[in-house]
Amino acid sequence: MSTLVSNDIILEPEDHKRLSSLCGPFDDNIKQIERRLGVEITYRNNAFKVLGEPLQASGAGELLKLLYIETQPVKGVIPDLAPEQVHLAIQEARCLERAEAGDYGKEVHIRTKRGVIKPRNPNQSQYVDNILNHDISFGIGPAGTGKTYLAVACAVDALERQDVRRILLTRPAVEAGEKLGFLPGDLSQKVDPYLRPLYDALFEMLGFEKVEKLMERNVIEVAPLAYMRGRTLNDAFIILDESQNTTTEQMKMFLTRIGFNSKAVITGDITQVDLPRGVRSGLRHSIDVLSKVNDISFNFFKAGDVVRHPVVARIVQAYEDHDAEQERTRAAKKEAAKREAEAKQSAPDSKGTDASQDTQS
């Protein structure tokens, strides 16, 4: 049984309005921290006491300090802490209980025009580190784990530092239940909505006007995967999003487009394949083929890495548990069928042996 410890902290400078923002209406923020980290928090004015297991108590204390910093006045106005801010901060604090001492503090912070973007958990931190240190990186996992967002952030950072001359964002134009042919416009306009998540990330990091100017100069290019065939991409940061919907041929085509001084990031979720039945995902195939190739890294995210609404992580975990149960059931049925077949095969042999013995007698 773990020993509970008490962590006493003083939040300076004392400011009742900032403390009120930190705690939230009816102490909702404090209750959320207690529930998510498994600690008990009491306070009087700016003196807080956190009771819990050592790592959780320490993480909760650091979390309170970080959140208190977020309540600093902006142009004389003290901001209200939104539940989303508290949730994201908790994601970081919860990592303290899983990460070894010193590991998570070495994460890379990505600087863009709109501010500093940093990983929210050890898996994201390793993902960013791999992107910076490998020519080709794979980010594989469920929605909401930051695969695409962090990849775009790394691309913007590389462009700002002039490590590359352009950014190229692409994804396969695969129908997810809807028929592309019924959408208005040419092929580029038909697939434009499918590329919207990439646009949104760029707009957030660089601003709408700058993105528009860079796209006019082809410094940033967003295009469907079909447009990549026959090209060689030098001095570029290339991101292939939704790669689970590539075929094996498309994945090979994309990976062989990479030229000198280029970096590629491939993201996808192998549980959400929209390819026709019987067509193997290029992402699944690449995991088998490229896992031992030098200069290629693979990062696998799980439900615990989701940084969206907490219920998203629980949804992902529920689907993972269901798939695992289905797999165990299939394996059990297959094993039972195998034993039954072996039993039937051995039965005639025994009868035949008995008959031969009767004849001899």
Token pair recorded at residue 343: 């039993």
Beta bridge mates, 220: 167
Give tens-digit pLDDT for 152-170. 999 998 888 888 889 998 8
H or E stretch covering 247:
none
Cα angle 43-46-51, degrees, rounded to a multiple of 5: 35
pLDDT value, residue 102:
39
Beta bridge mates, 298: 138
- Residues belonging to the chain: 361
How far is Cα 94 from Cα 346, in angstroms, rounded to an integer?
57
Q: With contact defined as beta carbons under 8 Å apart, do 130 and 288 qualify?
A: no
Which CATH superfamily groups domain 108-313?
P-loop containing nucleotide triphosphate hydrolases (3.40.50.300)
How far is Cα 271 from Cα 323, in angstroms, rounded to an integer?
10
The residue to which tokens 């798939």 are assigned? 323
pLDDT value, residue 353:
52
The answer to whether the pTM exceeds 0.75 is no
Domain spans in the chain, listed from the N-terminal domain onward: 5-98, 108-313
H or E stretch covering 254:
helix 248-255
Give tens-digit pLDDT for 234-276. 889 999 998 999 999 999 999 988 888 889 999 999 888 888 8
Q: With contact defined as beta carbons under 8 Å apart, do 167 and 237 qualify?
A: yes
Q: Cα–Cα distances in Å, from 90 out to 29, 66, 121, 327?
A: 10, 10, 10, 33
DSSP secondary structure letters along 141-181:
--TTSSHHHHHHHHHHHHHHTTSSSEEEEEE----SSS-GG
Domain 5-98 grouped into CATH 3.40.50.300: no
Q: 115-117 and 110-112 as β-strands: parallel, antiparallel, unpaired? A: antiparallel
pLDDT value, residue 50:
92
Q: With contact defined as beta carbons under 8 Å apart, do 154 and 131 qualify?
A: yes
Q: List per-residue pLDDT tens for the chain, 361 residues long.
A: 457 889 999 999 899 999 999 998 888 889 888 877 888 999 999 999 999 888 888 888 888 998 999 899 888 888 888 877 887 777 666 544 444 333 444 445 677 666 777 787 788 888 998 998 888 999 998 888 889 889 999 999 888 888 888 999 888 876 544 444 555 565 556 666 777 778 888 888 888 888 999 989 989 988 888 778 778 788 899 999 989 999 999 999 999 888 888 899 999 998 888 888 888 899 999 999 998 888 899 999 887 777 655 566 667 667 767 777 888 888 888 888 888 888 888 765 555 555 555 555 4
Q: With contact defined as beta carbons under 8 Å apart, do 207 and 214 qualify?
A: no
Token pair recorded at residue 176: 């997810």
pLDDT value, residue 105:
40
Query: How is residue 118 annotated by DSSP?
Result: -
Q: 40-44 and 47-52 as β-strands: parallel, antiparallel, unpaired? A: antiparallel
pLDDT value, residue 189:
64
pLDDT value, residue 275:
84
pLDDT value, residue 187:
55
Q: Cα–Cα distances in Å, from 320 out to 145, 267, 325, 331?
A: 15, 19, 9, 16
Q: 115-117 and 236-240 as β-strands: parallel, antiparallel, unpaired? A: unpaired
**Residue 137 one-letter amino acid:** S
